[in-house]
């Protein structure tokens, strides 16, 4: 009935994130038998500026599950992000 979202304000919640965030995502129009990226039109453009320390990286050649469709690239992106955090 929608009552779970009463008072939900995504923009406010995104602004409250205090830790570094990595948003990795696949291609929206990826069609290799697996669903396209779960990122909907406009979500990144809205979220990235609201999160204080946000890195967004598209994993080319993947859709909804980059960690399976492009495991080496996914691992590289995550590893670089984590290494930046520990320097």
* CA gap 26, 60 in Å, rounded: 6
Q: pLDDT under 70 in the chain at which residues? A: 29-38
Strands (E), 26-83: 54-58
The confidence score (pLDDT) of residue 48 equals: 95
The confidence score (pLDDT) of residue 61 equals: 86
* CA gap 75, 81 in Å, rounded: 10
The confidence score (pLDDT) of residue 36 equals: 65
């Amino acid at each position: 009935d929608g009552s779970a979202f009463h008072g939900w304000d995504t923009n406010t919640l995104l602004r409250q994130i205090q830790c570094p965030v990595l948003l990795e995502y696949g291609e929206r129009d990826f069609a290799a038998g697996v669903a396209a990226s779960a990122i909907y039109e406009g979500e990144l453009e809205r979220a990235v500026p609201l999160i204080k320390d946000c890195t967004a990286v598209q994993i080319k050649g993947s859709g909804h599950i980059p960690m399976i469709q492009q495991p080496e690239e996914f691992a590289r992106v995550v590893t670089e992000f984590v290494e930046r955090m520990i320097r």
